[in-house]
Amino acid sequence: MKKQRGILKDYFKKGAIPKESDFADLIDSVIIQDEDSIFKPANNALSVVGIGAEEELLSFYRPAEEPERSWQLKQRSGGKNGLSIHDATAGRLFIESGSGNVGLGTNSPTARLEVSGGGGATVDLIVNGRMRSNNNDGGLWVSDNRFVGGHGTDQIGFWNGNAWRLTVLNNGDVGIGSTAVHNPQGWNRVLDILGTSHARLNVRSSGGVVTSIFSHDNWGGARGVIGTDSNHPLTFATNYTHHMTLDTNGNLFMARPNLLMMGNTDGSATRSGALLGAIGFVGMGATHAQMVYRAGSGGGFEFVDRSKNGPALNNDNTGWAKVSGILNNASSRRWKDTITAMAPDDALAALNELRPVTFRYTNDQSERVQAGFIAEEVPDLLASSNRDVINPLEVVAVLTSVLQTQRQTIAELSGRLQVLEAQR
């Protein structure tokens, strides 16, 4: 039986006669290397031999009348070799022999460090500083099919479904569905969305407004689309001010007149451009147009001279067009090349081939008889590329050439006649 040091010392005081039992207590109170599985070999560290199936090495107790074991150190756990630390309930840390893998809450670690916690929303690891991977492909796996981490050259991304779904390049460009961001012009920042045959970017509100940008390989043909997927209008704005709205019926509304102008791509209007006004006007000829287009009062359309507040050209719903004023054809030398005088013989031949006819237009409800030509029958000199229209100025040019030639012929004949009469 183990005794305290003070009791053992009393056994061997001067004059005391130790009994056999006293010597037994002394022997039981010291460590016997062979029996107690602890020894100190020469030139070696203190050694401990494990005891039992899990080869227990060391136990820790809390001080009490009946000492209670609080921790144990073992060199086997769950039938596996390794250094294991247990509390009174279960194993808490295990270092696997051979692999060196460390398990917290598990004696079967599958990585250098495996934490087996509560799972779900349980927080099993907290780091007050930063975690760092010294490998370009380092990161964090979620289960065995999702990954957040590095890839490629200095890229970080999200892996899911056996592919990289989102990638952030080291210059800040972001690719969704692509690890190679499309940026041929070298813009400072690009968000690139790549789909196999189509892709869309949604911007939504809690009220149900869905605004999207689409790219599609076959949506009535390959095209890009901007619009709303919900039953809401699409509005264009600059400087946080609404300027143009496309409603759900396809109607286009302008916030103020003279808003949409044809001109240069830098936003500067040209005087030869056109503009769209707030009440359906399309202006032509100047930045602040005097000639505008609008729906006609009797159907069709009309061009209105704002300076005269009246139509200059209108087209009724039967297809007829009427000009109130002068209609000029562009004919400046600036817009022409290979200018050559018309040969009189060519003009005469073209005039001879013209076949004047009378006719009625099929969409003319008045059935008025018209006079003119058939575009498919006119000579090549006067024919259009698709032979369905006739340019009146071309006919006038042929007539002018023929008349000039006839006038010259008449002048020559008149001169001869005068000579003959003078010789009588």
- How confident is the model over 149-193, as pLDDT tens digits? 999 888 999 999 999 999 999 999 999 999 999 999 999 999 999
Instruction: Report d(CA 95, CA 103) in Å as an integer.
Output: 6
The better pLDDT of the pair 5, 72 is held by 72
Sign of the torsion angle spanned by Cα atoms 383, 384, 385, 386:
negative
Residue type, 359: F
Task: Give me the pLDDT at residue 9, please.
Answer: 82
Residue 35 to residues 28, 38, 39, 49: CA-CA distances in angstroms? 11, 8, 10, 10
The model's pTM: 0.54
Q: Is residue 11 part of a domain?
A: no
| Separation CA 278–CA 308 (nearest Å) | 20
Residue 321 tokens read as 């067009």
What is the per-residue pLDDT for 226? 96
Over 60: is that where the pLDDT of 280 sits?
A: no
Do 266 and 251 form a contact (C-beta atoms < 8 A)?
Answer: no
Helix, strand and coil percent figures for the chain, each rounded to 5? 15, 35, 50
**C-alpha pair distances (Å), 359 with each of 308, 319, 347, 354, 383:** 36, 16, 25, 15, 19
Tell me, what's the pLDDT at 261? 52
Higher pLDDT, 296 or 50: 50
More confident residue, 272 or 17: 17
Task: Indicate whether 347 belongs to any domain.
Answer: yes
Asked if 131 and 140 count as a contact pair (C-beta separation under 8 A), the reply is: no
What is the DSSP-derived secondary structure letter of residue 328?
Answer: P
pLDDT tens for 46-94 read 888 888 899 998 889 888 767 788 999 999 998 999 999 999 889 999 9
Using the predicted structure, report yes or no on whether residue 352 has a pLDDT greater than 80: yes
Answer for the pair 277, 258: CB distance below 8 angstroms, yes or no.
yes
Helix residue ranges, H only, 182-265: none
pLDDT level of residue 22 (50, 70, 90 thresholds): confident
Q: Which domain holds residue 407?
A: 333-422
pLDDT at 301 > cutoff 70: no
pLDDT of residue 275: 47
Give all strands of the β-sheet with 198-204 in edge-to-edge order. Answer: 198-204, 210-216, 223-228
- Positive/negative CA dihedral, 235, 237, 242, 245: negative
Considering the domain boundaries, does residue 364 fall inside one? yes
Q: What is the pLDDT of residue 218?
A: 95
The Cα angle at residue 328 between residues 327 and 332, in degrees rounded to 5: 170
Query: What span, in angstroms and rounded, lies between the C-alpha atoms of 245 and 25?
Result: 103
With contact defined as beta carbons under 8 Å apart, do 116 and 103 qualify?
Answer: yes
Q: Say how far apart CA 117 and CA 104 lie, in whole Å.
A: 8
Give percent above pLDDT 70 in the chain. 82
Q: What is the pLDDT of residue 17?
A: 86
Task: Provide the number of structural domains found in the chain.
Answer: 1
279, 257 Cβ separation under 8 angstroms: yes
Q: Report the range of poorest mean pLDDT among 114-118, 195-199, 250-254, 290-294.
A: 290-294
The band of 420, judged by pLDDT with boundaries at 50, 70 and 90, is confident
Residue 181 belongs to some domain of the structure: no
User: Higher model confidence: residue 251 or residue 210?
Assistant: 210
Query: Looking at 106-110, 231-235, 275-279, 383-387, which range is the least confident one?
Result: 275-279
- Of 347 and 424, which is predicted with more confidence? 347
Task: Quote the pLDDT of residue 190.
Answer: 96
Per-residue model confidence as pLDDT tens digits over 384-419: 888 888 888 899 999 999 999 999 999 999 988 898
34 closest CA partner among 53, 49, 54: 49
In which band, very low, low, confident or very high, does the pLDDT at 11 lie, cut at 50, 70 and 90?
A: confident
pLDDT value of position 307: 60
CB 191 within 8 A of CB 179: no
Which structure tokens are listed for 215? 């790219």
- The more confident residue out of 33 and 346 is 346
* Beta-bridge partner residues of 115: 104
Look at the alpha carbons of 27, 29, 31, 37 in this order and tell me if their dihedral is positive or negative: positive
Confidence band (pLDDT; 50, 70, 90) for 297? low
Q: Is residue 98 part of a domain?
A: no
Alpha helix ranges (H) inside 19-118: 20-28, 33-36
Among 79-83, 207-211, 321-325, which is the least confidently predicted range?
321-325
- Is the pLDDT score of 324 beyond 70? no
Residue with the two structure tokens 């599609």 = 216
Report the b/e string of 367-403 with b at 16+ CB within 10 A. Answer: eeeeeeeeeeebeeebbeeeeeebeeeebebbeebbe
pLDDT given for residue 365 in this prediction: 77
Residue 392 identity (one-letter amino acid): P
Helix (H, G, I), strand (E, B) or coil at 282: strand
Would you state the pLDDT for residue 150?
95
Residue 97 resides in a domain: no
Is pLDDT at 314 greater than 70 in this prediction?
no
Task: Please state the separation of Cα 29 from the chain's center in Å.
Answer: 80
Torsion angle, alpha carbons of 132, 135, 137, 142, to 10: -40
Sign of CA dihedral 57, 58, 59, 65: positive
In a domain, 33, yes or no: no
- What is the distance between the alpha carbons of residues 279 and 274, in angstroms, rounded to a whole number? 15
In a domain, 382, yes or no: yes
Token pair 């409603």 in the structure block, residue: 247
Mean pLDDT of 39-47: 82
Residue 62, token pair as written in the block: 């809390």
